[in-house]
Amino acid sequence: MDPTPEHQTGTTAVADRRQTRDADFAAYLAARQPSLLRTAYLLTGNRHDAEDLVQNAFAKLYLSWDKVRNQGSIDGYVRRILVNEHNSLWRRAWKKREHIADDETLHRLDRPHHDAQHDGVDAALWDVVQTLPRKARAVVVLRYYEEMSEAETAAVLGISVGTVKSQTSRALATLRDRTPQTLNPRSREEDDLS
Amino acid sequence: MNEHENDELATRLTRTLTDQADVMAGSSLALATVQGRARRIRRRRAATAVVAAAAAVAVVVPTVALASHTGGRPEPAPATQTPSRTLTTTDPAQPKAGVLDVSDLPTGAPPALEYLRSGRLHFIDGGSGTVNTQHTPVAFLDMYDGSRVWQTSQGSASYIEIQDTDGTFHEPVRTSLGLRTNPGHTIAAWLTTSGQVVVWEAGATDPRPLGDPVPGSELTLGAVSGNDCSLACTVYVNTADAQGNLQPWEVTDSGSQPARDGSYLTVADVASNGLTIGLDKISDSGSCSKLLGGGEFQGFSTCRNTLVSFSPDGRLVLADPAYHDGIGNGEIAMYRTDGGDPLFQRHSTESAQSFYPEARWEDATHVLAPVFQDGQWSIVRIGSDGSMEYAVAPVPGTDANSPFVLATGGTAYGD
Amino acid sequence: MKPHRSRSLPVAALALALLAAPGTTAYAVERPHTHDEYVARTADATAPGPLPVSGLPVGDPPKIAFAFASKPEFGGGNWRLHRPDGSTLRLTRLTWSTWAPMGDGAIGMAGTEAGPELQRVTGTGRVHTRIVAHFGLAVSPDHEIVGWLGDHGAPHVVEGGGARHLTLPPVPHGRTVATIQGTATCEAQTPEGGGCTVFVNGARRVRVSTSHGIVDTIGPMPEVSDVNQHGRVTGLVSRRTPDSRACWGVLRAGGHRVFRTCDYYLASFSPAGRRVLAERSQVRWASVRRFAVLARDGRVVRSWTFDPGARRSLSQLTWEDDRHLLGVLRAHGRWGLVRIGTDGTVEYAGDPVATTDELTPYSLPLR
Burial of B341 (0-12, 13-18, 19+ CB in 10 A): middle
CA distance A76 to chain B (A): 19
The predicted model gives A52-79 an average pLDDT of 83
According to DSSP, the β-strands at C300-305 and C49-50 are: parallel
Find the residue in C nearest to A179 (Cα): C283
Query: Which residues on chain C are in Cβ contact (under 8 Å) with B1?
Result: 113-115
Residue C239 in contact with partner chain A when CB distance is under 8 A:
yes
- State which H helix or E strand residue A26 sits in: helix A10-44
Quickly state the pLDDT bin for A10 (edges 50, 70, 90).
low
Query: Which residues on chain A are in Cβ contact (under 8 Å) with C310?
Result: 49, 90, 95-96, 98
The predicted model gives C39-60 an average pLDDT of 75
Tell if the CB–CB gap between C135 and A166 is shorter than 8 Å.
no
Query: Which residues on chain A are in Cβ contact (under 8 Å) with C175?
Result: 180-181, 184, 187
Task: Please check the confidence at residue A193 and state whether its pLDDT lies above 60.
Answer: no
Task: Please check the confidence at residue A188 and state whether its pLDDT lies above 60.
Answer: no
CA distance A50 to chain C (A): 13
Average pLDDT, chain A: 73
Residue type, B406: L
Contact by Cβ (8 Å): A190, B19: no
Residue C41 in contact with partner chain B when CB distance is under 8 A:
no
Q: Which residue would you say has higher pLDDT here, B207 or B409? A: B207
The dihedral over CA atoms of B313, B113, A93, B198, expressed in degrees to the nearest 10, equals 110
Task: Please check the confidence at residue B302 and state whether its pLDDT lies above 50.
Answer: yes
Q: Which residue would you say has higher pLDDT here, C356 or C259? A: C259
Task: Please check the confidence at residue B159 and state whether its pLDDT lies above 90.
Answer: yes
Mutation target among B4, B7, B8, B12 for the A interface, most CBs of A within 10 A: B12
The predicted model gives B148-170 an average pLDDT of 89
Contact by Cβ (8 Å): C58, C351: yes
The predicted model gives B240-262 an average pLDDT of 86
Closest CB to C201: pick one of A119, A123, A181.
Answer: A181
**pLDDT tens, C246-301?**
889 998 866 678 888 988 999 999 999 999 999 988 888 889 999 999 998 888 99
Q: For the domain bounded by B3-73+93-406, which CATH number is listed?
A: 2.130.10
Residue C241 in contact with partner chain B when CB distance is under 8 A:
no
Average pLDDT, chain B: 80
CA distance A11 to chain B (A): 18
Listed in sequence order, the residues at least 6 apart from B90 whose beta carbon sits closer than 8 Å to its beta carbon are: none
HSE (side-chain half, CA atoms, 13 Å) at C323: 3
CA distance A107 to chain C (A): 12
Quickly state the pLDDT bin for B226 (edges 50, 70, 90).
confident
Task: Please check the confidence at residue A6 and state whether its pLDDT lies above 70.
Answer: no
**pLDDT tens, A105-153?**
433 443 333 333 344 557 788 989 998 988 899 999 999 999 999 999 9
Quickly state the pLDDT bin for B284 (edges 50, 70, 90).
low
Q: Which of C89, C190, C195 is nearest to C140 (CA)?
A: C195
- Chains A, B: CB pairs < 8 Å: 142
CA distance A115 to chain B (A): 9
Helices (H) and strands (E) in chain C, counts: 2, 31
Listed in sequence order, the residues at least 6 apart from A24 whose beta carbon sits closer than 8 Å to its beta carbon are: A65, A69
Query: Which residues on chain A are in Cβ contact (under 8 Å) with B233?
Result: none
Tell if the CB–CB gap between B27 and A37 is shorter than 8 Å.
yes
Residue C113 in contact with partner chain B when CB distance is under 8 A:
yes
B276-285 long-range CB contacts below 8 Å, 24 or more apart? B276/B223, B277/B307, B277/B308, B277/B309, B277/B310, B277/B317, B278/B222, B278/B248, B278/B307, B279/B246, B279/B306, B282/B66, B282/B69, B282/B70, B282/B246, B283/B70, B284/B70, B284/B71, B284/B73, B285/B70, B285/B75, B285/B323
Tell if the CB–CB gap between B253 and C311 is shorter than 8 Å.
no
pLDDT score of B323: 75
- For chain C, positions 310-329, list CB contacts with chain B under 8 A: 311
CA distance A3 to chain B (A): 29
Tell if the CB–CB gap between A92 and B184 is shorter than 8 Å.
yes
Query: Which residues on chain B are in Cβ contact (under 8 Å) with A130?
Result: none
Q: Which of B183, B279, B193 is nearest to B225 (CA)?
A: B183
Burial of B331 (0-12, 13-18, 19+ CB in 10 A): buried
Distance, in Å, from the CA atom of C175 to the CA atom of A189, rounded to the nearest integer, reads 12
Quickly state the pLDDT bin for C218 (edges 50, 70, 90).
confident
Contact by Cβ (8 Å): C353, C361: yes
CA distance B183 to chain A (A): 12
Residue A120 in contact with partner chain B when CB distance is under 8 A:
no
The predicted model gives B128-139 an average pLDDT of 90
DSSP C173: T
**pLDDT tens, C96-131?**
789 999 888 999 998 877 788 898 888 888 888 889
Distance, in Å, from the CA atom of A104 to the CA atom of A97, rounded to the nearest integer, reads 16
pTM for the full model?
0.59
Tell if the CB–CB gap between B232 and C333 is shorter than 8 Å.
yes
**pLDDT tens, A167-180?**
998 899 888 888 86
What subunits touch chain B, counting only 3 or more CB pairs under 8 A?
A: A, C
CA distance B296 to chain A (A): 28
- State which H helix or E strand residue C299 sits in: none
Query: Which residues on chain A are in Cβ contact (under 8 Å) with C217?
Result: 194
Contact by Cβ (8 Å): B203, B145: yes
Distance, in Å, from the CA atom of A55 to the CA atom of B29, rounded to the nearest integer, reads 7
Contact by Cβ (8 Å): C276, C269: yes
Find the residue in B nearest to A122 (Cα): B16
Distance, in Å, from the CA atom of B353 to the CA atom of B358, rounded to the nearest integer, reads 16
Tell if the CB–CB gap between A34 and B24 is shorter than 8 Å.
yes
Task: Please check the confidence at residue A192 and state whether its pLDDT lies above 50.
Answer: no
Residue C131 in contact with partner chain B when CB distance is under 8 A:
no
Tell if the CB–CB gap between B12 and A122 is shorter than 8 Å.
yes
Cis peptide before C220 (omega within 30 of 0): yes
Distance, in Å, from the CA atom of C207 to the CA atom of C198, rounded to the nearest integer, reads 8
Q: Which of A174, A172, A148 is nearest to A161 (CA)?
A: A148
pLDDT score of C7: 30
Query: Which residues on chain A are in Cβ contact (under 8 Å) with C292?
Result: none
What subunits touch chain C, counting only 3 or more CB pairs under 8 A?
A: A, B
Q: What Rg, from alpha-carbon coordinates, does chain B have?
A: 23
The dihedral over CA atoms of B294, B300, B305, B310, expressed in degrees to the nearest 10, equals -40
Quickly state the pLDDT bin for A72 (edges 50, 70, 90).
low
Quickly state the pLDDT bin for C93 (edges 50, 70, 90).
low
Mutation target among C113, C135, C332, C353 for the B interface, most CBs of B within 10 A: C332
**pLDDT tens, C295-304?**
988 889 999 9
- Check if the interface score ipTM surpasses 0.85: no
DSSP A189: T
What subunits touch chain A, counting only 3 or more CB pairs under 8 A?
A: B, C
3-state secondary structure (DSSP) of residue C320: strand
Distance, in Å, from the CA atom of C8 to the CA atom of A58, rounded to the nearest integer, reads 66
Closest CB to A112: pick one of C172, C173, C245.
Answer: C245
Kindly report the backbone phi and psi dihedral angles of residue C55, in degrees, each rounded to the nearest multiple of 5, phi listed first.
55, 35
Closest CB to A140: pick one of B13, B21, B29.
Answer: B13
Contact by Cβ (8 Å): C206, C219: yes
pLDDT score of A67: 75
